[in-house]
Amino acid sequence: MKKLCVFCGSAEGNSPAYLEMAQNLGKMMAQNNVALVYGGASIGVMGAIADSVLANGGVVIGVIPKTLVDYEIAHKDLTELHVVEDMHQRKKMMYDRSDAFLSLPGGMGTLDEMFEILTWSQLGLHSKRCFIYNFMGFYDSLLAYLNHSHKEGFIKEPHLHMLEEIKDDTGLLKLVSSL
């Protein structure tokens, strides 16, 4: 079974569309026999995708640091829940258990996870594919920043293309069906 690591928010966002998007992705993943590897929370976008994968008969592997078990409200009904010492162990375990990475809308933690995995790729520590779902233009500014950094000489051309943009449900379905 292929495993997709999804980085996303423990918040719900200001629009119900974020939760609906996560639920749709979770259903796609379960239907395509793709396991979810994620941050282990039962709330926000994280909880919505995990609940959806589970409700559709899929496998969910959560990884959460001890310090966030209560804060992010660790999901108790997962296929596997790993409680680790810190964020570094969380990211390493999520990396080790995944075949590819997808960033959904989220906040600083989502960006931290996404950029660390991209940095590992840039340094040649892995060659797993990294995707960003630019849902409703959520990441337009971030993608513009990356392009600006490239134009200013801070990101090399090959590194700019390590992060593959997905713009719609069709792109998500293509991703999960091709893993």
CB 163, CB 126: distance < 8 Å:
no
* Alpha helices by DSSP H, the chain: 16-31, 44-55, 87-96, 108-122, 140-151, 157-160, 169-178
CB 54, CB 32: distance < 8 Å:
no
CB 74, CB 83: distance < 8 Å:
yes
CB 80, CB 53: distance < 8 Å:
no
pLDDT on residue 70: 79
pTM: 0.96
CA atoms within 13 A on the CB side of 127: 0
Instruction: Please tell me the distance from the alpha carbon of residue 25 to that of residue 21, in angstroms, as a whole number.
Output: 6
pLDDT on residue 71: 77
CATH class as words, domain 2-174: alpha beta
pLDDT tens, position by position, for the chain (179 residues)?
999 999 999 999 999 999 999 999 999 999 999 999 999 999 999 999 999 999 999 999 999 999 998 776 999 999 999 999 999 999 999 999 999 999 999 999 999 999 999 999 999 999 999 999 999 999 999 999 999 999 999 999 999 999 999 999 999 999 999 99
